[in-house]
Structures are given as structure tokens and as C-alpha cells.
Structure 1
Amino acid sequence: MPLTYEQYTAVDLTERITSAVSIVGNLFIILTFFFSSSFDKPINRLIFFASWGNIGSSISCMISDLGPASLMERSKFNASGICQVQAFLVQMFRGVDCYWAFFMAINVYLVFFRGYTTHQLRKLDIWYLLACYGLSFIPAFVFLFVSTKERGHVYGSAIVWCWISEEWDWMRLVFLYGIVWITILFAFIVYFMAAKVIWSKREHLNGFLNPLNETPFANTITTEIEIIYEERSIVKDASDQGISENVLPCDQYVVDIQATPQQQYQQQDTQVYQMRRMRSLTREVAQSETNPEAWLYARVAILFFIAMIITWVPASVNRIWQMADPSAINFSLNYIESLMLSLQGVWNVIVYVITSQTACQRLAYQLFPRSSRKKTRLPSGSPERYPSGGKQRLESVASK
């Protein structure tokens, strides 16, 4: 049974309102990342890259039912321009968040199990950009020109928007939903492995496990102690040692002692051994030699993954429903799917703000100095960004 006019109107209004909010949120991410160094942190970089795709997806949602409506008096062989544009935007940008979640999961794996630093991860960004938007662009562009006499154009009406038409329904599964499910499965496996590491250190990661704690490692202090060993002669002259030669007589006896020479001692008396360093850390998590940015990066990636799950579970359920009964159209599932997909940018900006609380407070103080002075008190010594050196290890932010 097709949707009624009232149901179409409800979907249309919801999509446009939530898409407008998403666009505003994505513009906030882009502008703050570009113009404020406080937001320019490695943990925000991939969210910034994903926000461009969210804008494209939100524009397709803003078009809403104008795409399918333009096909009302056309045959499936006579494509509508606005429908083709909307379908291209959907195919190009709808799955971008999933691809970025996939790449974030790869980075978490590299950090936790391959010892990568944030400096090394930064070198991978260009390849992620090419893979994400390049692999999305190829099928989206090719589908504009695919048409057959039996099925018509690939792009056509998909109930609440234009996308891959029902005659090419199998392509929806192959070129979007299948990829989404694979990325979710891969990311889930990686985050499960990382969660085991985090859980094993849970007693020392109370701040890390709280997503509202932006700097859980602020109290971690690194102390470097240099210990220099100097070889001393085992036997010295009695005069050097200040020992008196007047010794009381005693019974004499002989003891035969044999010892194996220790090869590690060198012969020169004054040679200085190689300096050894010990790092005393207040948290055992530092023993893994993973720097704070890496742990925070993992937390952001997990939050981003949760946002992706919230977005794609309703869409996946609706897809399975339609595969089971193609003739049935469930208004509730279609409404929730359109709502969640158009809110992609909102979920991303929520994650972005959670990971940039101090930067947001600074921005509010700059824009509204009087009101911010009364309501917000910035922590002293709060870092604008974490250092991202390639050889970086756990260091105290408070100690700098």
C-alpha cells in the first residue's frame, strides 16, 4: 500500500528540518576546524573530512520528495534532472560516514596493536580521502549513464527520495547496504578487541571511560630519572680506604673461594656505563607506550561508530523488510529511516563538541565575552591541542 499524502508530508517536513540542522552543524565543524587552532586536533580531523560528505547527504534530504514528484508524469525511460541530481547525491554521500568509521577502525587497530603514533596516522589521511570519496564517486557517476530498455534508468524513485529505482533493487544491496554492513562488522571486531584492552585497564581509565572528560590523562606525570653507573675497582689500597694497618691478632685460617669472572664488567675502572632511563608513570596504561592522543582517538572513533549504528540500524531494518515483502511499504520504518539518515550531521557535531569542550568554551568566551565570563570558567593551563610528535609518549599536560 503506498503512502498517503499526509504521510508524505510528514516525511517531507521532517527531512527538511533535520537536514537544515545537520547542515548548520557541519558548517560549524568546518568553520571552527579551519579558523580556530583549538579545534585543529588529530582526533577531530576525520570528523572534519566526513562533514563534507554529510553536507552532500543533507542536501539530498533537503530535496526530499521533489525528486520522486518530478517523475509523476514521466516514464521510467525519461529521466528527470532533479531526480538524477538527488540520486547522485544519495549514492555519492549517503554511505560516507560508514567509510570514515571503517578508516577510524583501521586507525584504532594500528594504534592499539601496531604501535602507530598520531603523526604516522596523519600520513594516511590522503589515502583515506581518495578511497572514501573516490570509491563513492565512481559508481555514483557511472549510474547516471546506465539504462536499459527493460528496466529504464538506474536512478529513479525510491519512495521518499530518488535513488536506485526498484527495477535495479539488487544494486542497493551491493553498492550501499552491503558495504555498510561489512564496515560495521569490521569496526565492531576492532572495537571489541580494543575494548578488551581498555577493560583490562579499567581501574586506571575511569576518566577515559567517561566521554565527557576531555582530558582524562591531564594528571599523568612523566618523570625521567638518569642513573649513571661507574665501575669502581673491587680492591683498593688500604691507605685509600682509610683503613688502619694496626690489626688485632687473630687466629689464622684459610678459605678457598672460587668465583666465575663476570663478563659484563669491563676492565677500565672509570668507564661510564650506558645511561639507563626509567619512566615513572602514575597510570599503568602508560606502560603500553601508547600516547594520550592515541587513547583519545580511540574514544572518538568509538563514539563515531555508535553514531553510525544509530543512523543505520533503522535503515537496515527497513531494507530487510522491503526485501521480504517488496509490495509492502511500512510508513513507520520509512519515517524513522529518513529521520535518522538526515540527522547524520547532528550526530557528528555532537561527537565533535564532546571531544572539543575546552575549545568550545574558548570560542564562546571570544564571541560572548561578558556572558561567558559569568557562566564559563576555563581551566587554567588547558591545552589548545595535544602534541602530535611522531615519538610522543604519555606526558603530563598539566606539567607543561
Structure 2
Amino acid sequence: MTLSEHQLHVLAIVERSASVLSIIGIATIIGTFCFSRQFRNPIHRIIFINAFYNLFDVTATTISLSGPEAGNHSALCQFQGFMMQMFPLADVMWTLAMAIDVFLIVFYKYEGEDLRKLEIWYIGIITALVMIPATTFLFIHTKEKGPMYASVTLWCSIAPKWVLFRIVFFYGPIWLMIFIIMVLYASVGFEILKQRHLLKSIGITLDTLSSTNDAHFNEFHAAVASTPPPPAHLPNNNHEKDYTSSLQTPRLSPSDSLALSRTPRHKSPVSFRQYVFMPLMFFVILLTVWVAPTTNRVCALINPNFVSYPLLLAVGSTGSLRGFWNGVVFVTLGMKERKRQKRLKSSRRLGQIL
């Protein structure tokens, strides 16, 4: 099956329209991060850094069918192939970096400063891992198979004649990292459920701990430790009200106090939505983005003559929308968290006044 001129024209329109939306999403991430201090926790910083990698990615998808039309040996096709090999893979690696950060926060009590120190390592390792093979492939070509980067209908990438390299250096690493991310989030999920069950059993919610700092925690712990046991009989006077109010802080047993001291705490306010839910949503987007391209590649591997116009439409649209969905999650969840933080501050001020 070959595609008609009209179908190719529609594919180009879909790719470029989706790419424009991604550019808007990337610009939103960069602008929001630069001008709002509410969007600067370690997870936000990783998304911000990845936005620049997404910018090169969307440049490749904006070129669209112009790369294949220029010819496999053209500079435009080779440039597009280089970027399509390097930057989509980098996007997956940055999602893995977010999952690693969440894992370190939950299990090793990493704080903002600790995570910021890792960013330079992330940048160096991710850039090296994606750039070395992408650059090497520019210089690989044979008389039998032609250049490594060539037309794959939608854009220039590793050519079908080099399909083994496509699997080993592109789809294989992508799905391996997706599996690792799933394992990390599963571990984090089990740990959060365990901690939530523990805190619920002693009358404290995880949100209460996540929105307090160490000083507040120490004050709480001291108040709990100093709460006196209830007397046998309470006098029927005003002292009853005072004593009842003092019991609103739950009394912990020694074992509960030890368990609570081991729960994840941070010096800066930590939000479940920012540190767990937001990275998890990026992972969900990652899965949806890579289902269609992988399906298309597997079908082409089984049958080299396989061509599906609807599947190519799905590949072109989802592959070009990475920056857009990143921007939607970044702003939507960030704004909800900002409103939640404002409500917490307002309730604290009201509590101090009362």
C-alpha cells in the first residue's frame, strides 16, 4: 500500500499543527518557570530543563515530510534524522529522572538541595547517552543499505533497512526505561500506602505531614509527648474545657513515635501532587505517546510492506504533541497546587488569629 498525495498532505498538516501546539506548551513551561516562584521545586526544574530538549524535538517534527521529500542524502533529512534519534529518547530519560527523584524523596528522604545537585549529572549523562549514538549514525552508510538516516514516511529517522539498530538503540531502550519507571512508581506507591495506613492508624493524615516543616513537626512531637494522661474524674467547671482542648493532639505510644519519626519529612513544604502525582501524569503521557509508534514499528518489522494511514496519523499527532501535553500537566497541576498552598497559608493565619 502506498499513500496518495492527499494523504501525505494531510499527514504534514497534522504533524505541523501538533508541533505548533507543542511549541506553545514548551513556551508556557519556560515562561511559567521563569516568572513564578511557585513553579520551582525539583520536579518543576526537571520539566523546565526537559523543555529545551523538547524544543529540538518539536523542530524535527515541524520539518515533517520536508525531510523525506528532500532526499535521503540531503542535509535536511540527515539533520532531521539526528534530532529524531536524540531528543525523543532524551524525553523518556528525563521522565526516568523524575521517577528517580520521587524514589529518592520517598525512600531516602532527599530534599530540594540534594535533588538540585543531581541535575548536572542528569544533564551530562542524558546528553551523552543520546548524543553519542545519534552522532555516530550520521557517518554510517553502505552501498547496499544506504545512509542510516532515511525516510520513514512521516520524517527521516533510522531507515527500515537498518531496523535492528532502530530496535536496539531506540525502541529497546525506551521500553526498558518505561519498565524501570513502572517499577519505581510501584515501589513508591506501596511505600506511600504503607505510610498512609500507619499515619491513619495514629490519627494523622499524610497531607498534614507533607505541608509542615521540621520545626512544626518537632513542636507537634513535643506536644504529643507532654500530653498528660486523663484523670479519673473531671471536675464540672471551666477546667474541663481546657483539658478537652489539650486532647485534640493524638497521644502516641513509643512505637508509634518511632514509626512517625521514620516517615518521609522535608525541610521545605512537600506536596503529594507536586512530588508524586505530577511525575506520574508525565509517565502516563509517555505511555500514550509511545504506543502508536511502537505498534507501527512492530507491524513493519513483521511485514516490511505494512503501511496503515490511520496508524501513521496517530504516530504523527502523538509524536508531535509531547511538548504540548507536558505544558498542560505542568500548568494545570501546578495551578491546583498553588491554590492548595494558598488555602493552607490562609488556614494557618486564621488559626494563629484564633
Q: 1:289 aligns to what SS in structure 2?
A: coil
**Which shifted more, 287-296 or 102-111?**
287-296
1:48 is matched with which residue? 48
1:91 is matched with which residue? 85
Question: Residues 248-269 of structure 1, C-alpha deviation per residue, up to 9 Å, x if partnerless?
Answer: xxxxxxxxxxxxxxxxxxxxxx
1:290 is matched with which residue? 265
1:166 is matched with which residue? 160
Residue 315 (structure 2) aligned to one of 320, 337, 342? 337
Between the aligned partners of 2:163 and 2:37, the Cα distance in structure 1 is: 46
Q: How does 1:178-257 map to 2 (within 5 A)?
A: 178-200=172-194, 201=196, 217-218=210-211, 222=217, 224=219, 226=222
Conserved in 2, the CA contact under 8 Å of 1:358 and 1:382?
no
Gaps of 5+ in 2: 224-252
The question of 1:357 aligning with 2:332 is answered no
The question of 1:149 aligning with 2:149 is answered no
2:301 maps to a residue whose letter is M
- Quote the offset at 1:381 in angstroms: 6.8
Between the aligned partners of 1:94 and 1:29, the Cα distance in structure 2 is: 18
- Quote the offset at 1:226 in angstroms: 5.0
How many residues are paired up?
309
The question of 1:30 aligning with 2:34 is answered no
Residue 289 (structure 2) aligned to one of 303, 311, 317? 311
Conserved in 1, the CA contact under 8 Å of 2:65 and 2:154?
yes
Conserved in 2, the CA contact under 8 Å of 1:218 and 1:398?
no
Conserved in 2, the CA contact under 8 Å of 1:108 and 1:298?
yes
2:12 maps to a residue whose letter is D
- Quote the offset at 1:37 in angstroms: 2.3
In proportion to residue count, which structure has more helix? 2
Between the aligned partners of 1:216 and 1:356, the Cα distance in structure 2 is: 20
- What RMSD over aligned residues (CA atoms) do the two structures have, in Å? 3.3
Conserved in 2, the CA contact under 8 Å of 1:218 and 1:397?
no
Conserved in 2, the CA contact under 8 Å of 1:11 and 1:160?
yes
- Quote the offset at 1:90 in angstroms: 0.7
What TM-score, normalized to structure 2?
A: 0.77
Between the aligned partners of 1:356 and 1:135, the Cα distance in structure 2 is: 30
- Quote the offset at 1:223 in angstroms: 5.3
- Quote the offset at 1:329 in angstroms: 0.7
Conserved in 2, the CA contact under 8 Å of 1:39 and 1:359?
no
Gaps of 5+ in 1: 209-214, 228-277, 362-376, 384-395
Change (3 A) 1:43 1:399: farther
Between the aligned partners of 2:126 and 2:350, the Cα distance in structure 1 is: 37
Change (3 A) 1:182 1:378: closer
- Quote the offset at 1:104 in angstroms: 1.7
Change (3 A) 1:286 1:297: farther
Which is higher, the Rg of structure 1 or of structure 2? 1
What TM-score, normalized to structure 1?
A: 0.69
Change (3 A) 1:313 1:52: same
2:99 is matched with which residue? 105
Change (3 A) 1:206 1:167: farther
Q: 1:163 aligns to what SS in structure 2?
A: strand
1:17 is matched with which residue? 17
Between the aligned partners of 2:92 and 2:165, the Cα distance in structure 1 is: 18
- Quote the offset at 1:9 in angstroms: 1.6
1:346 is matched with which residue? 324
2:75 maps to a residue whose letter is G
Q: How does 1:366-385 map to 2 (within 5 A)?
A: 379=342
1:369 is matched with which residue? none
Between the aligned partners of 1:181 and 1:147, the Cα distance in structure 2 is: 27
**Which shifted more, 184-193 or 139-148?**
139-148
2:116 maps to a residue whose letter is R
- Quote the offset at 1:27 in angstroms: 1.2
Change (3 A) 1:329 1:104: same
Conserved in 2, the CA contact under 8 Å of 1:219 and 1:397?
no
Between the aligned partners of 1:334 and 1:290, the Cα distance in structure 2 is: 47
Question: Residues 16-43 of structure 1, C-alpha deviation per residue, up to 9 Å, x if partnerless?
Answer: 0110110111012112212332322222
Conserved in 2, the CA contact under 8 Å of 1:87 and 1:155?
yes
Conserved in 2, the CA contact under 8 Å of 1:144 and 1:155?
yes
Between the aligned partners of 2:209 and 2:334, the Cα distance in structure 1 is: 13
Question: Residues 133-163 of structure 1, C-alpha deviation per residue, up to 9 Å, x if partnerless?
Answer: 2211111112112111221111111111111
Between the aligned partners of 1:178 and 1:82, the Cα distance in structure 2 is: 26
Change (3 A) 1:216 1:81: farther
Change (3 A) 1:287 1:39: same
Change (3 A) 1:382 1:168: farther
Question: Residues 91-115 of structure 1, C-alpha deviation per residue, up to 9 Å, x if partnerless?
Answer: 1212222101111222222222223
